[in-house]
Amino acid sequence: MATCGAKPFRPGAAERCRHLVYFKYMKRTGLRYEHRKSAQDVNYRWLRHRIDALPRESGMFVTEGEVSSATGTSRTPVREALQRLEAEGFLEIVPKKGAFVPPISDSEVDAVMQARAIVEEWCVRQASTASASLLAELEELLEAQRQLIGNAVSFIQCDREFHRSIVSAAGNQVLADFYESLRERQLRMGLQAIADSSERLKLVLAEHAAIVEGIRSASPEMAARALLAHLSSTLSALRHK
């Protein structure tokens, strides 16, 4: 059996985390899972998979014909998916040629993390006086992450839900939607690469625990300091991945 320091790794932890994230998403949005997806969604997911897997220092050019052939759909939903991705800042449409996914610069990494800091600092200050249910939720996610050292994908899922829970608890839907767009853009910036380091994951756990302690103490200043230190550490890791 694999181990995480002195604690055994429980094989069911990743599945529990996925179920928790899924349940919370369904509860938050009120959506029901649908097996049938629109052609635009098919193309959107195909393109996002290609984009997220692209090294941040690399660019990529895609054409409507290429995507249409790969997904087995017509060009109209491909065009709609490209327009959606352009609106979200993932690519630039080149008229009559296709779309270009540009490399991600260090300045863009800095800008996204700065935006996260602004949003999350305000939210964690609000959440520091939230109900006991938020604290229980964060502790549950923290425990799930402890069991996921060595499983980078599921660890990142729990990491995202940890921060999302704090933002959601602040009660500002405009900021919550903006925050989601920031996390989507960050996927390609190297989170997967830094999550492959068990030492980095252990540091994240310690930083998350400090944030939880600030919220438990009902101290906005303590919670904000811990949150900003965590984001600063993440930025440093992204820069040196």
Instruction: Outline where 170-240 has alpha helix (H).
Output: 173-186, 191-195, 198-216, 220-239
Q: Which residues pair with 3 in a beta bridge?
A: 8
- The DSSP bridge pattern shows strands 92-94 and 7-8 to be unpaired
Pick from 89, 20, 100: which is nearest to 66 by CA? 100
Q: What local confidence, expressed as pLDDT, does residue 192 receive? A: 59
Residue 29: partners with Cβ closer than 8 Å, 6 or more residues away: none
* Residue whose entry in the numeric block shows the structure tokens 């899922």: 157
Domains in the chain and their CATH numbers?
3-29+106-239 (1.20.120.530), 39-101 (1.10.10.10)
What's the average model confidence in pLDDT over 33-58? Answer: 80
Structure tokens at 112: 């996204």
DSSP for 111-136, please give it.
Answer: HHHHHHHHHHHHHHHHHTT--HHHHH
C-beta of residue 54 within 8 angstroms of C-beta of residue 188:
yes
Report pLDDT digits (tens) over 7-29. 443 445 555 565 565 555 545 54
Neighbours of 225 (CB within 10 A): 16
C-beta of residue 60 within 8 angstroms of C-beta of residue 50:
yes
Report pLDDT digits (tens) over 188-227. 786 655 666 788 889 999 999 999 999 999 999 999 999 9
Q: What local confidence, expressed as pLDDT, does residue 156 receive? A: 85
Between CA 190 and CA 235 the distance in angstroms is: 10
Between CA 18 and CA 154 the distance in angstroms is: 7
Across 89-93, 152-156, 186-190, which has the greatest mean pLDDT?
A: 89-93
DSSP 56: T
CA distances from 92 to 45, 60, 79, 99, 192 (A): 17, 11, 12, 5, 24
Q: What local confidence, expressed as pLDDT, does residue 14 receive? A: 53
